[in-house]
Structure 1
Amino acid sequence: MLTPISWGTTYVVTATLLPPDRPLLAAVLRALPAGLLIILLVRRMPPSPTWWWRFTVLGVLNFGAFFPLLFFAAYRLPGGVAATVSTVQPLLVAGFAWLLLRTRTPVGQLLAALVGVLGVALMTLGAKAHLDPLALVAMVVATGMLGFGIVLAKRWGSPGSPLMSAGWQMTLGGLLLAPFTLAFEGLPDTLTGANLLGYLYLATIGGAISYWLWFRGIERLTPTTVSLLGLANPLTATLAGLVILGEFLTAGQTVGLAVALLALVAGQTVGRQSSGEPQRPDSGAVPAAGGDVHRHRVRD
């Protein structure tokens, strides 16, 4: 849950600390430095060509394509609106999980996801919300990419620790994105102290640390359970607007906040009741793409 909470601060950081209209630069600086630092710490290479291309695919879904679309939306939409679009992710993940993993999401979790979307919409969407159509499309596509990445990561597992997975995905995604950044945006002439602070925060708290926790969670929880935790993203985005940008909640938005919190808690409760205790990364036997089989043991 710490991961979507940190992601919820992305919108206010983008609005208050980053230089304007540079989504590609923000994406590269959030992914590449953190990824390289993690690789230096773990000192482990992908064990086979199969894992090189898997990390590359996941790096594009989770970072190389997701981050530019996310920052494009963050620059053009109010944080609450952008975060509201992301709440459809549990529904998308449920569909991807059925197609790729043949796992059925409990009806209670699907209902919790729908209620969560309603609650967040009540909380964040006001009559004065500015809706940029292109930014909305970008946010929907980004949400779908991250959801697909969750399910693929669950299907493929990991050849090492969650920290290793995060490091290589961030590095490969950032490297693929860097040439496009230089070609289409270039580098700014100067960066202020606030700019540097914003990029540092996104690369560490919103990057390396949050994605290490994210991939650790993917290993231990069901895909829909993980994505339902994403409801903390818009909740944080809205609360950050209250505290930092001086916004306020109407009575209807307060109701929406309560509904979204209820949906988040209910979704986790239903998921735990349906699957028992969360599985460890080595529990069960899940065939991965390419014929690999990950051997597991069941935790008492």
Structure 2
Amino acid sequence: MNLKLAALGAAILWGFTYIITTTMLPHNPIFIGSVRALGGGLLLLAFARQMVPRGYWPKLIVLGTLNFGAFFALLFVSAIRLPGGVAGTFQTLGPLITILLAWALLSQPPTLMKIVSILIGAVGVTLVILRADAGIDMIGVAAALCSVVAGSLGGILINRWGRPAEMSLVSFTAWQLLIGGTELAVLALIIGDVPAAISWTNALGLAILAVVLTALPFILWFRAIVALGAASVIPFVLVTPVVAFILDAVIRNVVPGPLQLVGVVLVMTGLIVNQWAGARSAKSAASKPA
């Protein structure tokens, strides 16, 4: 298997999440998040079949809550309220927000180029949410930003705590999905965010979401990360909002304005600058004598 194509395939599949959400699923974001997390988690666990080390459970609950419980709930609120391309663009901010959180929480100040990448990304997001008709849904924007913060904070905690040596990446993710999905299922029942009826279209959409847009792309993504390294794989997330914009334009006739297109380009440029700065720092560190 060509692992770069695998990573590209995963990013393309994730771009379909938004159009599936708006055209095939009920408008119950907590319920949708629970089905996606539980369905995807069970399928991934069927591949891995590894248990969680007893002492790691408290940390895994925190990670599952941030990476999939809070993240999926907020992601689907934004997916329902925003055009798919706009919602997808916010997700590419993850690496940039991670820089800020690492600075605030871990006292890891960013380099000048990383600060530049954050500023470029911030300008880009400002343009993405500006529309001539002032019709952008600010609740959707807030949900999108909070989802990225939750996922980025989860990523920082993974770096800080590490992954148990006896767990593969797939099983590590599967258990987080199951934790987040269980939390969302309970929350959906408590607040009544459950559809009164499920149509055949809804059922098909939920199956696609859990299997094709969660379990399959995560397997492809992790295979690529293990073989190529995260730095080589992360740039493929730039494809996701592009796919989402194209699907919105073709299927829903939702076409981004010129300012939004410029904003998307700036957000992607910020991510590219961030990746380049990281690669440059790593190369510089490797060239220093021990």
TM-score scaled to structure 1, two decimals? 0.77
Q: Which residue, 112, 122, 138 being the options, matches 2:143? A: 138
Change (3 A) 1:47 1:14: same
Q: Which residue, 236, 244, 250 being the options, matches 1:243? A: 250
CA distance in 2, matches of 1:178, 1:84: 27
Do 2:96 and 2:117's aligned partners in 1 also have CA atoms closer than 8 Å?
A: no
Name 1:10's counterpart in structure 2: 17
Name 1:185's counterpart in structure 2: 192
How much does 1:52 deviate?
A: 1.1
CA distance in 2, matches of 1:254, 1:137: 20
In the alignment, structure 1 residue 105 sits paired with structure 2 residue 138: no
Change (3 A) 1:149 1:227: farther
Do 2:41 and 2:177's aligned partners in 1 also have CA atoms closer than 8 Å?
A: yes
Deviations, residues 41-97 of structure 1 (Å, cap 9, x unaligned) = 211111222x11111111100111221122122222233443444454334211222
Name 2:3's counterpart in structure 1: none
Name 1:26's counterpart in structure 2: 32
User: Identity across aligned pairs (percent)?
Assistant: 34
How much does 1:206 deviate?
A: 2.8
How much does 1:254 deviate?
A: 4.6
Comparing 33-42 with 129-138, greater Cα deviation is found at: 129-138
State the AA in 2 paired with 1:239. Answer: I
Do 1:91 and 1:113's aligned partners in 2 also have CA atoms closer than 8 Å?
A: yes
In the alignment, structure 1 residue 66 sits paired with structure 2 residue 44: no
How many residues get paired?
A: 275
CA distance in 2, matches of 1:14, 1:251: 25
State the AA in 2 paired with 1:36. Answer: L
Name 1:206's counterpart in structure 2: 213
Comparing 247-256 with 146-155, greater Cα deviation is found at: 247-256
Q: Which residue, 259, 265, 278 being the options, matches 1:271? A: 278
Deviations, residues 225-262 of structure 1 (Å, cap 9, x unaligned) = 98776554433332322232223355545544544444
Name 2:119's counterpart in structure 1: 114
Name 2:180's counterpart in structure 1: 173
CA distance in 2, matches of 1:117, 1:238: 20
CA distance in 1, matches of 2:30, 2:284: 40
CA distance in 2, matches of 1:176, 1:249: 35
CA distance in 2, matches of 1:250, 1:258: 13
Name 1:56's counterpart in structure 2: 61
Structure (1/2) with the larger helix percentage: 2
- SS of 1:197's partner is helix
Q: Which residue, 42, 45, 51 being the options, matches 1:45? A: 51
Indicate the structure whose relative CO is greater, using CA pairs within 8 Å and at least 6 residues apart: 2
Do 2:123 and 2:263's aligned partners in 1 also have CA atoms closer than 8 Å?
A: yes
Do 2:75 and 2:147's aligned partners in 1 also have CA atoms closer than 8 Å?
A: yes
Name 2:157's counterpart in structure 1: 152
Change (3 A) 1:184 1:139: same
CA distance in 2, matches of 1:106, 1:247: 38
TM-score scaled to structure 2, two decimals? 0.79
State the AA in 2 paired with 1:41. Answer: F
- SS of 1:276's partner is helix
Do 1:14 and 1:75's aligned partners in 2 also have CA atoms closer than 8 Å?
A: yes
Q: CA RMSD in A?
A: 3.3
Change (3 A) 1:10 1:124: farther
State the AA in 1 paired with 2:132. Answer: A
CA distance in 2, matches of 1:214, 1:102: 29
CA distance in 2, matches of 1:60, 1:147: 12
